[in-house]
């Protein structure tokens, strides 16, 4: 859903965008090359704040702010100022800054605030040299876009991860190599089963990209069972495999119940990673395997009505 009319975005809010990676890819330019040129929302949570600050040309300062605001981000003429209130713990301060970076990367908003409840607000009218406290936070007319800053491009975002915990283990690899590595991770490290969707289950219910469940061996030990469809672009498949790995490790953090057979249905419509959780784990796992991930927050779908007939996977 779009941000509500008071321009406040909560942690659970989703912004409807044109799905990326679900259509045909440009054969002349791999998706991974496109993604390498731009920061994505998950980078705000995976990269060190200092690295992000340098990449975005950020200056940091502390100042008493109005109302309940704990942090501001202001983008002017290719530079960004981040202001936080004095007295925040280092953990809270980092979280507020990452929220600002995440929303700025997601939307390109030029003036953003975060309050003590981690609610994000953008300023409706933003003029150069104007203090955000002196501008309006009123409503936008339907269809209006929030104020935006010029896109920040850099030589290659992948360079920011060199030497970090989320750098690729074996260098940057093709989508198919990454898919193979993720399947091996499920089969070996997680002692599970990773399979392509079998032809007999097609056509799949609308929007379903993968199915994940847990099986149990004779000793009662759990093992993930993962199926991913094959009739979609390789970049989307790789990111879906990464999400399924993350979900297999973090079933307790899923925000949707499985169906009566214990199957989770993973949709294909991407959305940005807005904080720690399964989607962030998916993004950094894909990157560790060697692919620059795109948006990795995939929805867990309400079990399709025809699931028992169309996807007899748990049998």
* Extents of the domains making up the chain: 37-159, 168-310
**Would you give the distance in Å from CA 155 to the centre of its chain?**
22
Do residues 39 and 152 touch, judged by C-beta distance below 8 A? yes
**Would you give the distance in Å from CA 256 to the centre of its chain?**
17
State the greatest distance between any 2 C-alpha atoms of the chain, in Å, as a whole number.
68
Q: Which of 99-113, 139-153, 274-288 has the lowest mean pLDDT?
A: 139-153
Q: Which pLDDT score, from 0 to 100, does residue 1 have?
A: 27
Q: Which pLDDT score, from 0 to 100, does residue 96 have?
A: 97
Q: Is residue 110 predicted with pLDDT exceeding 80? A: yes
- For residue 271, give the nearest of 1, 33, 25 by alpha carbon: 1
Strands 69-76 and 79-84, by their bridges, are antiparallel
Q: Is residue 269 predicted with pLDDT exceeding 90? A: yes
What is the pTM (predicted TM-score) of this model? Answer: 0.79
Contacts of residue 301, defined as CB under 8 A and 6 or more positions apart, other chains included, come to 205, 207, 208, 256, 265, 266, 267
């Amino acid at each position: 859903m779009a941000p509500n009319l008071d321009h406040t975005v909560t942690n659970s809010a989703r912004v409807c965008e044109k799905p990326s990676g679900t259509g045909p890819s440009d054969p002349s330019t791999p998706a991974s090359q496109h993604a390498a040129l731009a920061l994505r929302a998950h980078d705000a949570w995976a990269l060190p704040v200092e690295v992000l600050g340098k990449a975005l040309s950020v200056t940091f300062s502390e100042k008493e702010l109005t109302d309940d605001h704990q942090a501001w981000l202001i983008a002017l003429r290719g530079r960004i100022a981040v202001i936080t209130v004095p007295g925040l713990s280092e953990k809270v301060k980092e979280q507020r800054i990452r929220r600002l970076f995440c929303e700025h990367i997601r939307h390109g908003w030029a003036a953003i605030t975060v309050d003590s409840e981690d609610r994000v607000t953008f300023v409706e009218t933003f003029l150069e040299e104007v203090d955000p406290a002196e501008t309006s936070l009123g409503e936008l007319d339907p269809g209006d876009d929030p104020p935006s800053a010029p896109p920040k491009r850099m030589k290659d975002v992948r360079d920011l991860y060199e030497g970090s915990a989320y750098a690729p283990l074996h260098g940057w690899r093709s989508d198919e190599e990454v898919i193979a590595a993720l399947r091996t991770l499920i089969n070996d490290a997680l002692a599970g089963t990773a399979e392509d969707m079998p032809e007999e289950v097609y056509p799949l219910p609308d929007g379903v990209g993968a199915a994940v469940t847990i099986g149990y061996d004779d000793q009662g030990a759990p093992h993930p069972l993962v199926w991913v469809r094959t009739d979609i672009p390789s970049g989307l498949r790789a990111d879906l495999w990464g999400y399924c790995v993350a979900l297999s490790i973090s079933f307790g953090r899923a925000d949707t119940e499985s169906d009566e057979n214990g199957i989770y249905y993973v949709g294909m419509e991407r959305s940005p990673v807005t904080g720690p959780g399964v989607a962030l784990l998916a993004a950094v796992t894909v990157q560790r395997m060697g692919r620059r991930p795109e948006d990795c927050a995939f929805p867990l779908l309400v079990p399709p009505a025809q699931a028992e007939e169309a996807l007899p996977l748990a049998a």
